[in-house]
Amino acid sequence: MNKTILESTNVLKHPTTTNSSGNGTWRDFLSLTKMGIVMSNMITAFAGLYLAAYYTDISLISNIHLVILGLLGSALVMAGGCSLNNYIDRDIDHLMERTSGRPTVTGKISDNQVLIFGLALSALGMVLLLLTTSVAAVLGLVGLVFYVVIYTMWTKRTTSLNTIVGSVSGAVPPLIGWAVIDPSLHPIAWILFLIMFIWQPPHFLALAMKRCEEYRKAGIPMLPVVSGFQVTKRQMVLYVAILIPVSLMVSPMFGPVYTVITGMLGAGWLVLGIRGFFMRDDMKWAKLMFVYSLNYLTIIFVLMVVLHIV
């Protein structure tokens, strides 16, 4: 870790001194849950659940209680984890523009309220998942522990490998969704996990490039901060290149339409990634990569479901 990072980590020892009024509205509490992240992960969780029902020939209508419990439980566990992330990061969020408006920074919600809220959501979500299958509950717990403890509390502040560690929790939702219907976890479920795991580094490293100076100020050793943009670009392109064949591993089951569309999307992302070595504006390239990654993920997981409906 370089000198800049070591000096910057001193700010982690001094939490914010903003007075907490504890008078937050429901919108403030909702913002703690990072609904954007929850909703994007719910797409992958539903895809896992739907595909599990399709390949095990189980009727979702006849098992609508599992669908409701599984999706609601998954959402609550994710929302609880995000709320706990807000609680843990309250000492550094004021240093970053994108997090400076959080209720934990402005003081609209007290620290104790955030902690209790996060734990309550997580516990309720775990109970709901347990009412489906024990495997789904265990996977929910694994995702929660990786995100809150191993990522947020530990590796986020100590190593540039934090993105890889965080990718584990982000890749669990399709496994949870599948386990709600089929606890045996068919190989397709693990391929969905791999797709999500490999997709996340280029996605979050693009964000890290965009917010590089904010991370530097907060003392967070993201890869662009500790190793520079060129190394980060090479890592991003490598992950995208690996993602292409991994995403096509399900082609024999999903058919030619999936193969063509997913292959073209992956090739387009790779071309955009390589262009980064020739573009002068790194921030513009990082923004393009970030937006492309979001569209890529949404399209391929929606495509997976649609192709198994028609």
pLDDT of 131 over the 60 cut: yes
Q: What residue ranges do the domains of the chain occupy?
A: 25-307
Residue 55 makes CB contacts below 8 A (sequence gap 6+) with 182, 186, 188, 253
CA 153/CA 222 separation, integer angstroms: 15
Average pLDDT, whole number, for the chain? 90
Give counts: helices (H), strands (E), the chain: 16, 0
pLDDT of 19 over the 80 cut: no
Best CA proximity match to 153, nearest among 88, 79, 82, 78: 88
Q: Which pLDDT band, with edges at 50, 70 and 90, does 13 fall under?
A: very low
CA 94/CA 97 separation, integer angstroms: 7
CA 223/CA 5 separation, integer angstroms: 11
Note the CATH number of domain 25-307.
1.10.600
pLDDT of 114 over the 60 cut: yes
CA 151/CA 273 separation, integer angstroms: 26
Q: Which pLDDT band, with edges at 50, 70 and 90, does 84 fall under?
A: very high
H/E element, 52: helix 35-55
Helix 229-247 vs helix 256-275: crossing angle, to nearest 10: 170
Alpha helices in 211-281 (DSSP H): 212-218, 223-227, 229-247, 251-254, 256-275
